[in-house]
Amino acid sequence: MAKKQCIKERIERSVERIPECGCWIWTLRSSSDGYGQIAIDSRPKRAHRVAWETYRGAIPEGMHVLHRCDVPLCVNPAHLFLGTGQDNMDDMTRKRRRIGALAGTKNGNARLTESQVLEIFAMRSSGVRVKDIAKLVNMRPHHITDILHRRIWRHVKMEQPL
Alpha carbon dihedral 60, 64, 69, 73, in 10-degree steps, equals 100
Range of the domain at 62: 2-101
Pick the closest to residue 51 from 17, 4, 85, 92 (CA basis). 4
Residue 126: pLDDT over 90:
yes
One domain for residues 71 and 28: yes
Q: Is the pLDDT of residue 108 over 70?
A: no
Please give the mean pLDDT across all residues of the chain.
87
Look at residue 136 and tell me whether its pLDDT is greater than 60: yes
**Domain-located, residue 155:** no
Give yes or no: residues 51 and 124 share one domain.
no
Contact 79, 85 (CB under 8 A): no
Say yes or no: 118 and 142 in one domain: yes
**pLDDT level of residue 150 (50, 70, 90 thresholds):** confident
> 47 CB contacts (<8 Å, ≥6 apart)?
11, 14, 26, 28, 35, 36, 37, 38, 73, 75
Q: Are residues 44 and 16 in the same domain?
A: yes
SS (H, E, C) the chain: CHHHHHHHHHHHHCEEECCCCCCEEECCCECCCCCEEEEECCEEEEHHHHHHHHHCCCCCCCCEEEECCCCCCECCHHHEEEECHHHHHHHHHHCCCCHHHCCHHHCCCCCCCHHHHHHHHHHHHCCCCHHHHHHHHCCCHHHHHHHHCCCCCCCCCCCCCC
**What is the number of structural domains in the chain?**
2
In a domain, 118, yes or no: yes
What pLDDT shows up at residue 158?
Answer: 72
pLDDT at 154: 81
Same domain, yes or no, for 143 and 67? no
pLDDT tens digits, residue range 58-106?
999 999 999 998 899 999 999 999 999 999 888 887 776 655 555 677 6
Higher pLDDT, 70 or 28: 28
Same domain as 49, residue 61: yes
Please indicate, yes or no, if residue 154 is contained in any of the structural domains.
Answer: no
* Same-domain pairing of 26 and 60: yes
